Amino acid sequence: MLTTLRALLPHVVRSTRKAPPVLCGVLALGLAALPLAVSYRIPYAVTLVRVVSVTVALGVAFALDDAASPMTQVTPTSRLLVRLTRIALSARPLVVVWFAALLLCRAAVPAEARSHLPVGGLALEAAALLATALAFAAVAVRVSAPTHGGLAAMPGLLLGRRP
């Protein structure tokens, strides 16, 4: 299995779309750094962390977009392994971005209110958003075009979200 992953990794890295996750990561960090950039202390950072979580989840949803999918119907490795590798490659940097954005949001909150920031609950909510975005993208890739999973996940995640 490890040998297969080692052989698969360069091809998956080369064929994965990099622009959507990078743009979502930059947008998430930009949103989180905005209060600090304008020297504004936000009294309650939970909403900002939730917006960052949605942005990161959308970035990971684009991991399932595979332009070569129609041409690679028969491969020596399973499609599941390829997709899980894509998700792992996209999710790891964006999870780091989410934690960095959480620290930026925490720094924008006054010191006496930092203890009221529910970090565990926000992390659980971000993980649920990530799983939901991947589920929407997986259904879209399976049912319709395999190159538009991230685009299909966007309206489902944004319109299906309840506060």
Residue 154 has a pLDDT of: 78
In this prediction the pTM is: 0.84
Residue 100 has a pLDDT of: 96
Residue 55 has a pLDDT of: 93
Domain ranges of the chain: 2-159
Residue 53 has a pLDDT of: 93
- Locate 41 and state its tokens: 């202390």
Q: Which residues of the chain have pLDDT under 70?
A: 67-74, 145-147, 160-163
Give the residue ranges of DSSP H helices in 38-162: 46-61, 79-108, 119-143, 149-159
Residue 15 has a pLDDT of: 79
Say how far apart CA 52 and CA 39 lie, in whole Å. Answer: 19
Contact, 57 vs 87, CB < 8 A? no
Residue 157 has a pLDDT of: 75
Contact, 102 vs 122, CB < 8 A? yes
